[in-house]
Structure 1
Amino acid sequence: MSGHQRERNPSAALFERERELAVAEQSVRGLCGQSGSGDGKQSGLLLFSGEAGLGKTALLAEVRRIAGECGGCTVLFARGSESAETVPFHVVRQLLQPALAAMSTSARQELLGGWFDIAGPALGIAPPVGPQADPQGVRDGLDWLITQLSLQHNPLVVAIDDAHWSDPESLAWLTSFAVRLRELPLLVVLAYRPGELPEHTPAFQELVTGRAARAVELRALTPEAVAGLVRAALGPDADDPFCREVWAVTGGNPYEAVELIAKAQDRALKPVEESAALLRDLGAAARGSGLVNRLERLGSSVIRFAWAAAVLGTEIQPGLAANLAGMTPAEAGESADRLREARILVGSERLEFVHPLIATAVYKAIPAATRTAMHGQAAWLSEDAGLGVAVAARHLLEVHPDDDPLVVNQLRAAAREHLAVGAPDAARRCLERALREPPPEEDRAMLLYELGCAALLTSPQTTVNHLRAALALPDLSDDLRVDATYRLSQAYAHNNQLREAAEVVAAQAAATPPGPGLMRLQAARYLWKGIQVEEEDAHGRSRRIAELARHLKGRDNAERALLALRGFDGMIRGENALEVIEAVDRALVDGRLAEGLGWTNTEWGFEVPSIIGITYAYTDRLDEAGKLFDEGVRAFEISGWSGAHLAFAHDFRGLVYRRRGQLTEAEASLRKGLQLAHRLGPGLPIQWDGTCMLIDTLIARGRVEDAQVVAEENSFYPPYSPAIVLPDAACLAGRLLLARGKVKEAVAELESAGHRLQERGRNNTLWAPWALDLAAAIADEEPERARALAGQALRHALRFGTDTAIGEALRRSAPLAEPAEGLAKLEKAVEHLRRSPCRFEYAVALVDHGTALKRAGRREEAAARLRAGLALAERCGADGLVATARAEGADCGIEEAPPTG
């Protein structure tokens, strides 16, 4: 038996691993329903951790063997590589490409469904469909794929060796997917070195150090186990001092012990005490400088080939290694044979190092200048061989900067490819390296612009830094300067820096000549200023945008964006709703978003269609708003934008459900939006919107304690978001306090909110009903002031003019009036809200009117109102209102709501 065969012999590598093997067997057979425990199939995460050479790879081989014995169990396998750690989705492709390669294109498309164009480029099975894929969308597509495979190939084992060397994109997906493991017939088995966990994916560190996994830590072999290995290989007569010295030289490391025993056998050493003194020299030759010295004795041509293999690193093509080493195929074949005999390389069509320890030692032994030069050559050879710019870029990242425009161009091309497959961090690394080359001075601004755009979806602060640097240089064209400024303002806004967002576009607008570019910047300035909670000169801005929009016809997208902003501003201020709607309608083309203003358009962003839909939602145009937000959800899903954009779309869809009175559907959509938002990190604007809308919906449902839980879970307390949210955050906080019986605190919150809103002329009584809530809070203590506040709110509602606004103001001011006047107001409220599309508000008005009629002794009319209100409340999912209607109607002969169609 050859030395290599001995090293690969699992009986040698698995000495003293009974406990680890038992866990592996139990886990795999539990997945396959063969554990005998009666608990059904068991899935989850299994971890093998240990330093290099302790047998993790052998244990994974056993996992795969046991899975094969179970029958019907599919295994997907991949191995992280130190040399390929910067290649995006390298591990994901190893895992999934073999399974996908066996399918036809149509079968792969059917398996992935709508995710084919989104995840296919990352998997290497489809070309990119756009310039930039959303990383979260790609991860969601991979989730879908692995879920389908686990269901079709039930059960499924995913095994990853050297997981600590996985590329960041693969690790990010694996970490996010891990939370779903117990839902599927799927076992994920990871082997890694605990001392080398990557810093680039802290969530992976949390995953493997958490309590959600079965963790097995491998330790060095005992002297007795090493003695067993020695005697199994060199004969039962090996004496104790010799065996003990093998253990001492190797520290009980299984890999090193097996290698040392193999060398002793090659040297024909007798396993006796007299030979023990020679073991240290032999052991040193198996690692580090000793391994290098042993390699040098094989000759210069073999060394060159080994160096080439180490630079290529993973899945080494012999022909590519030969070209890199400057050899003929025959010379390369001979060198590869000698390296195989020396237990340094294995394989034929694809070569790999016997152990990562050997690959690391060989790579580090290459002189620094030579290594750098070889990486540069490997980049060009890889691209010539058709391996793609991503593989070539891995090598270029290791090359010393040398003022080479070709390197800059190649890195920029790689960055574009990385962005297109959903790997913006990899794109950023390429572009940052290109900056160090450095690029020609005239290209520097463009490169900084590309860097900023690459980070826009993932790191607003990084975007800010690079785009500011690009704008400080003179070489951007006028169009790119406008675009860079607009994107910079978006990055500021996404980072909760609304003042900076408005200031940067104002400064650029001052230096931009009249035309579409200037109007785009003006629109951005009005947007970022208009959504500031603490906006200065709010009245002046509103006046200027109204004057500007008055003469606009919607001839191009700049005009349409300004018209949309004018409509949104008028809605927030509670201006005449007909004028508001007229402006927003002009922002559309035949009732639809114009080309270039769509949800996924990067020139204008999703903010413009969002404010159009929001304006419709608060002006009783719920059908138009619903169509618009449904279109947004579809557009983001089709494009694979599963981050903040899709979260916002679900929130806005939830807003429409809430306004319609479909409270159950609203809650579901809003919880989905919040779930998506939570994946992005804390404190972002999207979480404020989702939190506020969900709290508002839960209060409407009568579930005040649930609303408080959502508030606490999402840090809903001052200081609130600097951006306007739906509904107004401070008003909502007051309403929640009032619902919880904390009247004093509610009054303080509502008075503060009212002062801020009045100061800025924001008088929409649906979006910010502070006056009506405050009137209810102080009615007992200050009845005159309460009536004045309610009268003020009613005047604002009448000015706005929608049936919902007027009906709500009438309903909520009725309890503050004399009984006869209050009853008349409630009757008018019912009539207005009957015409409104907001069914929950109509249901409340019916119940309130019925209650008041009962108090007035008009029991028959009261019963009719209460019965209708109860039926509508049940359809809305308004549990609290249902209980109120039942309680009020109990003595009016109402036992249950009439059947509804």
Structure 2
Amino acid sequence: MIVLDDAHWGDLESLAWLAAFAVRARELPVLVVFGYRPDELPDGAVEFRELVEGRSTRPIPLHALSPEAVADLVRGSLGAEADDVFCHECWVVTGGNPYETVELVAKVQDRGLVPDAESASLLRELGASARGTGLVKRLERLGHASVRLAWAAAVLGTEISADLAATVAGLPPAEALSAVDRLRVARILTGTRTLEFVHPLIATAVYQAIPPATRTALHGQAAWAVADAGLGVTAAARHLLETHPEGDPHTVRQLRAAARENLRLGAPDAARRCLERALREPPAPEDRADVLHELGCSALLTAPATTVNHLTAALEQPFLSPELRENATFRLAQAFAHNDELGKAAAVAGAEAARAECPRARLRLQTAHYLWLTFDAHETQASDRSRRLARLVGQLPGDTIGERALRCLRAWDATLRGEPAADMPAVAARAVGLSYTDPDWGFELPSLTALAYMYADECDRAEELFGSAVDECEKVGWGGAHLSFGFTLLGLVRLRTGKLAEAERCACEGVRLAERVGDRVPARWYAVGLLVDVLLSRGRPQEALRVARTYDFAPPYPNAVVFPDAQTVYGRLLLAHGLRKEAEAQLTAAGERLEAKGVHNPTWCPWAGHLALAVAEEDPRRARALTARMLRRAERFGTPTAIGEALGFSAAVAEAGQALPLRERAVETLRRSPSRHLYAEALIELGAELGRTGRTDRAAGLLTEGIELADRCGAGRLAERGRAERAGMTATTARSHGSRPSAQRGANTAEPSRP
């Protein structure tokens, strides 16, 4: 069990982390309990509100204490002789609030009142001093030094150092010690060297009672006191955020240092707030570009459009070093890409590469230029770009990080174009080594290497790499687009290997994380497309349609190349619902777009197979031409998965009598494939084909093997189809045997019943 009280006082980053943790903890045998005041949750705590107010949770309101419970508290502290009138008045005065009841009983003890009807009339005045203005007046009666110390403690927050509070309050040690004693006696503070408020409500009341100008000044004093005490820049920054801008360079440096530390700790939103405050200070002209660059980078994963604005402004500043220009341009291109503006991403990186004088910077920006061209769905010079990239990689002499980055691109480009997969592992092996969270190179490049392994049927290696990607992102606190991509691509590998239930869970997590980034951005197209594809593979077309409608998964499609291809998945969804003409239009358009871009690998995007199924009834010749070309390209690529899938589509649209040898070959080929789902489908299709030709003994074995494998994959509808084929074949066999006369049947034996 994990219990957290007073969640409403958590900062936004902590609440967002808690919400994400609670969602994932549903898979564990753990009870997570949050205590919070609904009306005091921060406005920006969107994820936490969705968690505690969603349909999957059951908020349990805490009710006030009953009169009987208050009487028990009173008598437990003041003695059994406390009469009913006194106890009832305690309940009336406090309204059953546990804190106020305990405070009221403590004050009765301090005053030495007898708990009887005569003293009951004094309770209202005593109760008022435990909250609101009554508490403030009680504090003021303790003297100026006590008030200053209580204010300083309220500003510092929790686990308050007595010495630090005295420094913030501006009190000498002896006077501060005396003030602490008075506050302790008055039940406002407790503790000795480390102080805390007796109750959080007291801390809130004291903090709110501080005059605004004084509160701001105390936060300023607290910032320097915390820094001088060696408590770290993030602790000091919490107070600097509450101060007024004064053009202080030291404040800017402190806030920038705190932002770097927050990013290191995985709190990009906290880093963003520090940098926004630093920008308002404002920084010196020569530092402004750096602050804008850092601010843009902090928002990249969750607000790419905001990043574009900040980085564009940074590049317009007069004091801009070549290194800063390179970094800002690289990040600006990445932000454009995350915002589905691939043409701009490639253009800004290419323009800066052309003007860069440093060879390392030029190589890095060239890589970014090629990367975003590769991801641009509307690229017009794809073949030329592929030739230039292949030539450039062929000239690379070593294994520097920049050269590895280009090899990542080369491996992926060759995969898309359908070049022989046997050549991929050698290129990919020399590309491995880039970190997914490398600030200089980004998440996308090492992901392409993992994808190249996956499509080359080395799925174990791909799953290992994407698992590392998720781990890296979580360790550094990347909870936006990149972590969404990580889960989505891990799900893609699991779909590829036939772990459909695991693929669905990954896709759902990818969708949840992508929701933080925005609507109709690449991260969401990736995640939703995968989820729809998985649901269709599991035989749940109605659920897939609901997901598509919920997330607006429909034309117009993104400018980015996404995996799986959104238009192809949408065409497959239409086909699953019997909308053949609409599916034909979408799949034809997808094929034209991918052909124009030089994407010929049928296992990356099997649009041609699905299109063949859509047109097979009306135009069987076209259907067979489509699958024949798909099979040729699959054989060129050379993986068992690609060839086996193409054979399956070919068999589905083959002429009468031609399907059986294709299905035999598909089973034999997919036996060597990591795609257990495709293999299960091939077994069931071959078993059904053999059953129709009367070869029932072998057919039954294939169907049984296919059904068991489909169940393990989580492909329920496929398993049901296999069972139906097996049952139908068994029934046919039974009828066939039942129709023959039996030598043992006597004259009075009844006809056998038919199933």
* Aligned counterparts of 2:551 and 2:112: Cα–Cα separation in 1: 70
Matched, 1:526 2:365: no
Q: In 1, distance between residues paired with 2:31 and 2:47?
A: 21
Instruction: Report the Cα distance in structure 1 between the residues aligned to 2:211 and 2:358, rounded to whole angstroms.
Output: 59
Aligned to 2:426: 585
**2:501 maps to what in 1?**
668
Contact 1:844 1:881 in 2 (8 A): no
Structure 1 residues 378, 811: CA separation in 2 closer, same or farther (over 3 Å shift)? closer
Cα deviation for residue 336 of structure 1 reads 1.9
Using the alignment, how far apart are the partners of 1:699 and 1:321 within structure 2? 62
How far off is 1:648 after superposition?
A: 4.2
CA distance in 2, matches of 1:468, 1:520: 19
Task: Determine if contact 1:798/1:806 at 8 Å carries over to the other structure.
Answer: yes
From 136, 153, 167, give the equivalent of 1:323. 167
Alpha carbons of 1:557 and 1:309: their partners in 2 closer, same or farther (altered >3 Å)? closer
Give the C-alpha shift of residue 478 in structure 1.
1.9
Aligned residue identity for 1:332: A
Distance 2:338 2:306 in 1: 12
The DSSP-based 3-state class of the residue aligned with 2:223 is helix
Letter matched to residue 457 of structure 2:
L
Cα offset, 1:361, TM superposition: 4.8
Structure 1 residues 533, 881: CA separation in 2 closer, same or farther (over 3 Å shift)?
A: farther
Q: Residues of 1 paired with 2:651 and 2:676: CA distance?
A: 19
Partner residue of 1:774 out of 607, 611, 620: 611
Aligned to 2:596: 759
Q: How does 1:325-404 map to 2 (within 5 A)?
A: 325-356=169-200, 358-404=202-248
Indicate whether 1:630 and 2:464 are aligned.
yes
d(CA) in 2 for partners of 1:815, 1:587: 35
Match of 1:310 in 2: 154
- CA 1:346/1:467 → structure 2, altered by over 3 Å: closer, same or farther? same
Contact 1:554–1:586, Cα closer than 8 Å, also in 2? no
TM normalised by structure 2 equals 0.79
Q: Structure 1 residues 886, 385: CA separation in 2 closer, same or farther (over 3 Å shift)?
A: same
Q: Helix, strand or coil: the match of 1:346?
A: strand
RMSD between aligned residues: 4.8
Deviation at 1:318, TM superposition (A): 1.9
Name the counterpart of 2:251. 407
User: Which amino acid is 2:610 matched to?
Assistant: D
Query: 1:750 is aligned with what amino acid?
Result: L
Which position in structure 1 is the counterpart of 2:260? 416
Provide the C-alpha distance between the structure 1 equivalents of 2:49 and 2:595, rounded to a whole number of angstroms.
50
Residue-by-residue CA offset, 1:146-177 (whole Å, 9 max, x unaligned) = xxxx4xxxxx7x251x4322222333344344
Correspondence 1:805-884 to 2 at 5 A: 805-806=642-643, 808-809=645-646, 812-813=649-650, 819=656, 867=701, 871=705, 874-875=708-709, 877=713, 879=719, 882-883=722-723
Task: Kindly provide the amino acid, as one letter, of the partner of residue 676 in structure 1.
Answer: E
Are the equivalent residues in 1 in contact too, given 2:681–2:706 (CA < 8 A)?
A: no
| 2:296 match | 452
CA distance in 2, matches of 1:752, 1:460: 29
Change beyond 3 A, Cα 1:698–1:554:
farther
Is 2:61 aligned against 1:216?
A: yes
Shift of 1:337: 2.1
Query: Following TM superposition, by how much is the alpha carbon of 1:630 offset from its aligned partner in structure 2, in angstroms?
Result: 0.7
Distance 1:749 1:701 in 2: 22
Alpha carbons of structure 1 residues 874 and 285: separation in structure 2 relative to 1, 3 Å: closer
Question: Which secondary structure state, in structure 2, belongs to the residue aligned with residue 679 of structure 1?
Answer: helix
1:492 corresponds to: 336
In the TM superposition, residue 863 of structure 1 has moved relative to its aligned partner by: 6.3
Letter in 1 for 2:596: E
CA deviation map 1:572-622 (0-9, x unaligned): 233x326xx647733543xx614xx2334332223222222323333xx32
Are residue 732 (structure 1) and residue 569 (structure 2) matched? Answer: yes
SS in 1 for 2:35: strand
- Please state how far the C-alpha of 1:296 moved relative to its aligned partner: 4.6
Q: Is the 8 A contact 2:276 2:295 kept in 1?
A: yes
Query: Which runs of 5 or more residues in structure 2 are unaligned?
Result: 735-755
1:178 and 1:808, CA in 2 relative to 1: closer, same or farther beyond 3 A? closer
Corresponding position of 2:400: 556
Cα 1:219–1:283 shift into 2, 3 Å: closer
Aligned partner of 1:478 in structure 2 is: 322
Tell me: CA distance 1:561–1:251, structure 2 relative to 1, closer, same or farther (3 Å): closer
Distance 1:879 1:720, change over 3 A: farther
Aligned residues of 2:514 and 2:523 also touching (Cα < 8 A)? no
TM-superposed deviation, 1:500: 3.5
Moved more, 559-568 or 791-800: 791-800
Q: Is the 8 A contact 2:263 2:298 kept in 1?
A: yes
Letter in 2 for 1:729: A
Paired residues of 1:564 and 1:584 also in contact (CA < 8 A): no
In structure 2, relative to structure 1, the CA distance for the partners of 1:879 and 1:399 (3 Å cut) is same
Pair 1:760–1:254, CA change in 2 (3 A): closer
| 1:565 is aligned to 2:409 | yes
Structure 1 match to 2:739: none
Deviations 1:22-52 (A, max 9, x none): xxxxxxxxxxxxxxxxxxxxxxxxxxxxxxx
- The answer to whether the Cα contact below 8 Å between 1:403 and 1:437 also exists between their aligned partners in 2 is yes
Deviation at 1:407, TM superposition (A): 2.0
Q: For residue 602 of structure 1, what is the aligned residue in structure 2?
A: 439
Cα gap change, 1:421 to 1:807, in 2 (>3 Å): closer
Report the CA distance between 1:374 and its aligned residue.
3.0
1:26 maps to which residue? none
Q: Taking structure 1 as reference, are residues 583 and 482 closer, same or farther at Cα in structure 2, changes over 3 Å only?
A: farther
Greater RCO, 1 or 2 (C-alpha within 8 Å, sep 6+)? 1
Contact 2:146 2:182 in 1 (8 A): yes
Equivalents in 2 of 1:276, 1:838: separation in Å?
79
Give, in whole Å, the separation in 1 of the partners of 2:364 and 2:48.
Answer: 42
- For residues 270-290 of structure 1, what are the alpha-carbon distances to aligned partners after superposition, in whole Å with 9 as ceiling and x for unaligned? 999999999999888776666
Q: Are the aligned partners of 1:637 and 1:646 in contact in 2 as well (CA < 8 Å)?
A: no
> Aligned in 2, Cα 1:416/1:187: closer, same or farther, shift over 3 Å?
closer
